[in-house]
Chain A
Amino acid sequence: GEDVEQSLFLSVREGDSSVINCTYTDSSSTYLYWYKQEPGAGLQLLTYIFSNMDMKQDQRLTVLLNKKDKHLSLRIADTQTGDSAIYFCAESSTGGYQKVTFGTGTKLQVIP
C-alpha cells in the first residue's frame, strides 16, 4: 500500500529558511500535496505539484520533487512565527476523486 514518511519535528529561527522533507512509496502517485494545519484547526492546502514536474514556486514556498527517489520537499523562505504549524505531505494517484494518503506530519517551530 501507499506509505508517506516525514520527519516529526523541525525548529528554525525566524527569518531563516525551512525545509521539510517527505518520502513516498507509491510510484503511481500523480498529485503530491503540502497541507498546513494550525493547532485545533483543519487542513489548509498550501500547494501541490504533479509528478511530471520537478519544481513549483509560489511566493515564499518552493516545492521540489525528485520522482526517481520519490522525495518531495517544501522550502519556506524567510520563515515567520505565523508559519509555526504541522505540515503534512500527501499523495494521490488520481486526483480529487480518490483518497489522499497523508504523511505523519512535521511540526515546524519558529523561534523568534
Chain B
Amino acid sequence: GAVVSQHPSWVICKSGTSVKIECRSLDFQATTMFWYRQFPKQSLMLMATSNEGSKATYEQGVEKDKFLINHASLTLSTLTVTSAHPEDSSFYICSARKFGTWSTDTQYFGPGTRLTVL
C-alpha cells in the first residue's frame, strides 16, 4: 500500500497565530512531497514542491515566507502557515511521491487538513 497521513485533520485558530500541518508517508519513503490548497467547490492548486533535504520550490504567487515548508526526513514534510489570517482558511492537502518504475511512479494523497482562521 501507499498511505499518507496528515495531522491535524481540522484546526481552528485565531488570526495572527501560526499553524503547523504535518504530512507523513506511513509505509514508504518519499523524497518528494507536494502541498496543495483547495478552496470550497474548487479544484486543487499546487502551492509548493517539497524535496527532502533541500528548499521547497514554490509556485508563482505563493508567499514562501507565509507558507514555510520543511521536509526534514523521507517520511515527513511540514507546512507552517505563519501569522494566519481569515483568507488563509482553506483545505490543505499534501501528496507524496512513491518512487517506482515508469508505470508505477505516482503521487498518493493525504486526507487533508481543514484550517479555519477566526
Q: Which residues in A have some Cβ–Cβ distance to B below 8 Å?
A: 31, 33, 35, 40-45, 48, 50, 88, 95-97, 99-105
Contacts and interface: CB of A to CB of B under 8 A. Distances in A.
Contacts, number: 57
A105 B107 CA distance: 18
Nearest to A50: B103
Interface in B79-118: 93, 95, 97-100, 102-103, 105-112, 114
Of B34, B43, B95, B100, most buried by chain A (CB within 10 Å of CB) is: B43
Majority-rule SS of B interface residues = strand
Interface residues of B, number: 27
Given A31-B106, A99-B34, A88 B97 contact: no
A99 B46 contact: yes
Given A88-B44, A103-B43, A105-B43, A95 B93 contact: no
B106 to A, nearest CB: 5
